[in-house]
Structure 1
Amino acid sequence: MRYSLMKPPASYRHLIIASLLVASVLIAGTIGYMFIEQLSFVDALYTTVGMMSTVGNVIHPITPLGRIFTIFVIVFGVGSLLYTFGAGMEFMIEGHFSQAVRRHHMDNKIAALRNHAIICGFGRVGSQIAQDLAAARQTFVVLDENEQNIRACLEAGYLALQGDATSDDLLHKAGIQSAQCVLVATDNDAHNISITLSARHLNKQLHIVARANHNETEAKLKLAGADRVLSPYVIGGHRMANLAFQPIVTDFIDKITKADSIDLAVQEVGLSAHSSLVGKTMEEAQDMLPNGIVVVALKKANGMISGPGLQTCIEAGDTAILVGMPGPLAAFKVKHG
């Protein structure tokens, strides 16, 4: 099955059927004239085209059987051409031609994506994820079965594919082999489990964040291969409690994690082997960092170290959690990531 920007409209299917009809009459007519009139392939094709177009070109006198056959060629040939003309006009008038062009461009853009995110589901949760990724200028593609949701994606300027996200074909089309992460955000737990299973099967290294709508689903999603499982209801409850008793702390966290913050931001940077921080202690590393950047945590292979000690040694492959100005943080990530 071929997946695309949106499912092909009826006029597109009519155009395909019309093209098949014309090709069928052309092939049948050519073969028929070759056997009945003993014409060469070129002469038979020339005669068939002439009869279908009502020009009536013939290479030599036609036998009685050939005349009968010609009647059928003319009737079916003219009928198929008229049907093709009508289907073509329908396709053009309804604007599906321009849509097909846009769909082709969209497919090419998605095929060129690397280290992108795949959002499965464009409901209330999925649409918010898309807004945040767009604000952070992260590349992503949205998968959803609902045509109205796909139209909303296109209006917002997002890359999107319509279809069942549990399908391996659709996930391949979304570039799952080269994706950085999959965000499973539908409101159906069964679908979320199935999508997670398919995504993990297709890419063992993929980072998968899945939505759990019920408490008992969390363990199943982790077994299916999800790296992180989140419940929007649990998160909402925690946030309301924090706003009630720690509103200033909550506001600060919101500020540094907001994608378009211009004052302060938080950034995680995986330190590569060529980073100048590798082999240094936290005390030495902090002296090497640009003014305004602070390491608040260090993620090592054996777990997260919050508020790492001054003598903690930084190793290749560690992930540093930094707080600072967006500009210097971005430059740091390019240099050390």
Structure 2
Amino acid sequence: MKESARYLLPILFFVALVLSVGTSGFLLLEDGISVHDAFYMAVTAITPTQFHEVHKLSIGGRYFTVALVFCGFGAVVAFATQFARLIVQSELEGVGIITQKQMRRRIRQMKNHYIVCGFGEIGGAICGELVQQQLPFVVITADSDSGAAIEREGFASVKGNPTADASLKQAGIEHAKGVIAVLADDADNLFISLAARELNPKILIIARGEDSGVEDRILRAGADIVVSPMKLGGQQIATLIRQQDGSSSDLQSSNASVKGLELISHKNDTDNSLDVADVMAQHHAIGACGIESINGSFTAETTTESKLAAGETLVMYKRVKHPTDITTTASKRRTILLADDHRALRLLFSRKLVAAGHDVIQAATGEQALELARSQQPELIVLDVNMPGLDGYQVCQELRQESKFKTVPIILYSADETKEFIRRGKDAGAEMCIRKTSKSSELLASIEKAFSAHQVTFDSQKVGATEAFNLDVLKENVGDDPDLWDELIDAMLEETPRLLDEMQEAFKQNNVDQIRHTAHTLKGSLEIFGASSAQELAARLELAGEATDRQELADTHDKFKSQCENLLNALKECRVALCGG
């Protein structure tokens, strides 16, 4: 409607100009004509009406009238047409009927808007809130029923697949402020996050995630915030129950995770002060935000040395971790070698893999793939079967003959998904043989599956029996996550010698409080590894007091130090066995 009005004004101005020129012309050319008659003659000249002449025209007046008809009649017709269009369009917009051309023009004019992918119950509620906040937005949906509801509401919309780059571009993602992915399928929300981050690296991405095990993957794909409606609803109900019950000593925040972090809080319902470090260790927190006192004031200057008094609440933050689904989550960047002689496909797949959080090495030939694999030692290799020189089968076969590539996942892909392709690929030593398409989502899914299949299994035969720690306890605490295993070993090998030195120094200075504090810190780490003997000795040192027999305390310390050293040696051996050093 605004566009029609914009065209209408210049035409109206031109008509007024023609009438002015016509009136002035008749006044100059005709003797004895009044202003009223001159204006009347100008109007009858440029309109399709046929009235009688109020003044007998001269020869010059008649020629002027002809020129006036040619100049003014078209302007009048254009004005009438545009005015009628304005009226009809206004009526159509009143019932929510807008042409696709006008919708695209409306979206192109938007800046710093939000894109809502999906218009179900959640998407509809989000759009309602955006309307209340007077924030511009565009809805993308492929559902015809949803499309009809969107038209009735008069929302700006794009009819198409929300996971497609074309739909996101049509919704103006290059100029958008945020993307809200709330489709029912977590995989679709993951791909929207992946595509949106690639199309606009600076955009805010909020994604819905029903399956807790997929949350880390969606974050890694590019989402800034992952929200679980079911989880939030459950937390809110639990919060209300605890508030009514009056027991809120351990209250988890209902906030969604941001950048893989979430807030938690712990209220001290005991009569004694608690160490902030102990509370953080109990909840596996990585940092403290502050302490809320009984009167409601908040102190942000909180360290691990601070004390949590009775009735106070400690607010902390921790990483989102789902041990039950560790095998579907990659906790660090992976290096992938992608070999394909089609440059366009290499670029497409590489961009998607990088957006998913991986490092990509590209090769255009089989020989180049071999050279890069040996020099860069990737963690996974993707080979096109048909390449100039050495083909994918030959490259895979050569790599499998080298010891360092015995366990590296290798994926072969081909446009011809035949039994012969699968048989030859398996004979060459390929982990997986998949169909080659332009859909990067299929390749990403195969890569994640290959990584999951190669998670290290912790068993007594591989590690070797040891009395320094309990492997069953470690498996229960850690699960089958080699990355977490690696991090725990590094932390233990780094922290334990330092803490043992601190304890040794405390013995020299006869500082019983420091001995107890260090023993308490070490006891928590020993518990994770199931080092029961060392843990029992740490508990004895933790209970040491001023009246404790000095010789007995020294003997306990020597035994404890010996047990810890045995544990460190055992962990070094296990790391060599499991992780190759």
State the TM-score, normalized to the length of structure 1: 0.44
Higher relative contact order (CA 8 A, sep 6+): 1
